[in-house]
Amino acid sequence: MFRFRSQLFLVALTAVPSLVMLAPSQPVAPLHAEQKISGSSGAAPVRVGIDVLEDQNFQPLRGKRVGLVTNQTGVDSRGRRTIDALTSAPGVKLVALFSPEHGIHAKADGSVADSTDAATGLRIYSLYGDVRRPTEDMLRDLDVLVFDVQDAGVRFYTYITTMAYCMEAAKAYGISFVVLDRPNPLAGQVIEGPTLDPGRTSFTGYYPMPVRYAMTLGELALMFNSVSHIGADLHVVPMEGWRRSDTYDQTGLPWIPPSPNLRTVDAVFIYPGIEILQEEGLSVGRGTDTPFELLGSPSIDGDKLAAALNRRKIPGVHFAPATFTPTEGPNEKKVCHGIAIRVSDRATFRSMRTGLEITRVLLEMHDLASPLRGMSLLGSQSTLDRLNHGDAPAVIVAGWADDLEKFRQIRARYLLYH
């Protein structure tokens, strides 16, 4: 098993952050303000978990046989792959690699096969192919499984579930689990969207929480380990210098797309509220240069839709008519008419509210069939029912308040950063 110093600790703010350690049977106590890791002035780039591990000269992993779950986003602040950092780390034996959806290069769509890393010759086990959980055979020769992947901050983005499944497997097969933490690209303050119905948990919804949850993967791992009763031998290597108010482009780190269509931070902000509409037969801009910043279909009147949405004065966003031809997804290779979505103020923009407003207008224009039957990513039957009933989006959003507050109280116990 994984061995650290016997005492649980968070390093003081003036020291290099070390590992947040959680014994499998120990509940997580609320972190006091002085224990939480404070952000820097913002002058220097954020140092992510792999940077902190390098500062420790990889001491926590020395003498261990390591498996690494990662993709192209797993790099340190110098751009060196976590794969290569662990391969050359003194006393560390990197044994196997694992990739989430979209593969090790984060560029594939659909099922991904196992492969080999060209630089190291290591086997890459795909967790988005024949299996989605590490098997006993995959983990047999490991002492610890390390997770270093950039998340999108959205409940139905599957990297969250892959992490949780890996934690479950680590617990089942008696190895430790380490999360090298990274920023939530949407920052860590705004919680938004309906809570997932308890009976709808799936690969696109591991835990009943809102669409936008405002936590890092390290914080999520701590929460899942406790509230989902995983009980893994879990360790989080926190970041240094990240503040909850920091969006990704305020960290000083280069944006590396975590999947083929999340090419910019702007797209990530729009993504949660627009992606839910793809199931209704609309193109969300996949197969264009600006995924999630476009929405349309061959039958929509883009001028009419843009005008109707702008009249609603939805906070933080403006719409313009657009014509485009997607090369994938719904309406592939068809000329689509619709809207270009431009966020004008991230502080007031709410993607889920915007998605509901677009849905409401499209229903009124008869460009969506009523009643809506898709939108499974919403994960909330009551929200879908209220949309079908004709309730105003602002009223629907207000109806989420009690559930969001309950989640906020649960979440508060696992936050690592100010």
**All domains of the chain in start order, with CATH:** 20-256+406-414 (3.40.50.12170), 277-374 (3.90.1150.140)
Residue 3's pLDDT is what? 39
- pLDDT > 70? residue 98: yes
Looking at residue 238, what is its pLDDT?
98
Share of the chain above pLDDT 90, in %: 89
CA distances to 13, 46, 240, 251 from 41, in Å:
13, 10, 11, 11
Give the three-state DSSP class for 82.
Answer: helix
Total residue length of the chain: 418
- The answer, yes or no, to whether residue 257 has pLDDT greater than 60, is yes
What's the one-letter identity of residue 286? R
For residues 182-195, average pLDDT:
98
Q: Tokens in use for 385?
A: 């029912």
Strands 336-343 and 294-297, sheet pairing:
antiparallel
Helix (H, G, I), strand (E, B) or coil at 113: coil
Token pair for residue 41?
Answer: 């002035």
Query: Would you state the structure tokens that stand for residue 143, as one six-digit string?
Result: 């002492």
Residue 252 has pLDDT above 80, yes or no: yes
Average pLDDT of span 335-341? 98
193: pLDDT confidence band, cut at 50, 70 and 90? very high
Rounded distance between C-alpha atoms, residue 244 and residue 185, angstroms? 10
Whether the CA torsion 351, 406, 238, 107 is positive or negative: it is: negative
Residue 79 is predicted with a pLDDT of 96
The structure tokens 């507050």 sit at: 405
Q: Tell me, rounded to whole angstroms, the distance of Cα 304 from its chain centroid.
A: 34
Asked if 50 and 58 count as a contact pair (C-beta separation under 8 A), the reply is no
Query: What is the model's pLDDT at position 19?
Result: 46
**C-alpha closest to that of 235 among 54, 15, 16, 416:** 416
Residue range 57-86: average pLDDT? 97
Does 2 score more than 90 pLDDT? no
Q: Please state, in angstroms and rounded to a whole number, the distance separating the CA atoms of residues 312 and 148.
A: 41
Question: In terms of pTM, does the model score above 0.75?
Answer: yes
CA–CA separation, 379 vs 376, rounded Å? 5
**Taking 80 as the threshold, does the pLDDT of residue 13 lie above it?**
no
* CA–CA dist 282, 296 (Å, integer): 6
DSSP category for residue 389: H
pLDDT tens across 161-178, in order? 999 999 999 999 999 999
Pairing status of strand 115-116 against strand 93-99:
unpaired
pLDDT for residue 11: 31
At residue 304, the pLDDT reads: 98
8 A C-beta contact, residue 217 and residue 151: yes
Q: State the burial class of residue 322 (Cβ atoms within 10 Å of its Cβ: 0-12, 13-18, 19+).
A: buried
Average pLDDT, the chain: 91
d(C-alpha 360, C-alpha 368), whole Å: 9
SS3 category, 272 = helix
pLDDT at residue 33 greater than cutoff 80: no
C-alpha distance from residue 205 to each of 160, 201, 210, 379, 395 (Å): 8, 5, 10, 8, 24
Tokens 């313009």 correspond to what residue?
320
> Tokens 């993709």 label which residue?
71
Confidence of residue 44 (pLDDT cuts 50, 70, 90): confident
